[in-house]
Structure 1
Amino acid sequence: MVAAGGSGPNYAQRLGIGSDQIVQELGWDEDCDDDISADVEEACGGDLLDEGADEVVDVVLLWWRDGDGDLVDRLMDAIAPLGEDGVIWVLTPKTGKPGHVQPAEIA
């Protein structure tokens, strides 16, 4: 999918993130795709909340890599700040990149 004018992918639209939604980003590190974070910030109209935030959120972006530990435990932590209709997106490195996780391991 390409945004109008050929400006590149619209990650926030693909993830169903829109204006005025509160988004928390967990597991961010230097190997994460900053284009995704920047696009989501632009779409929701504010900064992404970090690990220490204690607000109710609409969306959690959970960056996950092979070797990060127990995904179930991390998902349980990610559920805590979610609003009633909140969603969690688990994002992993692309195939062939260090830390890539097979989709079957998440499903």
Structure 2
Amino acid sequence: MSATAGQAQSERSLAERLGIKPGLVVQEIGYDDDVDEELRDSVEAAMGAELVDEDYGDVVDVVLLWWREEDGDLFDELTNALVPLDDAGRIWLLTPKAGRDGHVEPSDIDEAATSAGLSQTKSISAAKEWSGTLLVAPKIRK
């Protein structure tokens, strides 16, 4: 396998673990110089477009929320991230892994998510330095 083919496979697998597919609109919140560029590139390659930023004014399918312990109030940020989210949308909360600067305790994530009306469905190793927690809003019966 060539280096390029191996890199493409690696990029696909990162985005696939997040459930990113072509045509989805993915909003990125909390971008800073410490984010994982390989993960970002993987998501853009899988969706076939660029990530939209915090000022995007339309509905999104997925929110990638980079969050560090010192970033403020996680409940407030999760509540804000829900605003543009499609009814079937999801939030990937990306936090530094344990032992890294900015690590967020799982109990803090659980408390903020529950308070915001979100449920944790799974957690993954999203990148070398980052963990990912999938948060979804409960389905409303109509």
Q: Once the two structures are superposed, what CA deviation does each residue of 1:30-62 show, in whole Å capped at 9, x if it has no partner?
A: 011111111000000000001111111000000
In the alignment, structure 1 residue 28 sits paired with structure 2 residue 11:
no
Q: For residue 97 of structure 1, give the secondary structure of its aligned residue in structure 2.
A: coil
Return the letter of the residue paired with 2:66.
W
Q: How does 1:1-107 map to 2 (within 5 A)?
A: 5=6, 7-8=9-10, 10-107=13-110
Query: Separation in 2 of the partners of 1:48 and 1:73?
Result: 22
Following superposition, the deviation at residue 5 of structure 1 comes to: 4.7
Give the C-alpha shift of residue 26 in structure 1. 0.2
Structure 2 counterpart SS, 1:28: coil
3-state SS in 2 of match to 1:8: helix
Identity in percent: 51
C-alpha deviation, 1:8, in angstroms: 2.9
Counterpart-to-counterpart distance in 1, 2:83 and 2:43: 21
TM-score by length of structure 1 reads 0.89
Extract structure 1 runs of 4+ deviating beyond 6 A: none
DSSP-derived class of the 2:91 partner: strand
Give distance in 1, aligned partners of 2:17 and 2:100.
22
User: Which consecutive residues of structure 2, in runs of 5 or more, have no partner in the other structure?
Assistant: 111-142
Higher strand proportion? 2
What's the TM-score, normalizing by structure 2? 0.68
Match of 2:130 in 1: none
Q: How many residues align?
A: 104
Structure with higher Rg: it is: 2
Shift of 1:95: 2.0
Tell me the C-alpha RMSD between the 2 structures: 1.6
In structure 2, distance between residues paired with 1:105 and 1:57: 25
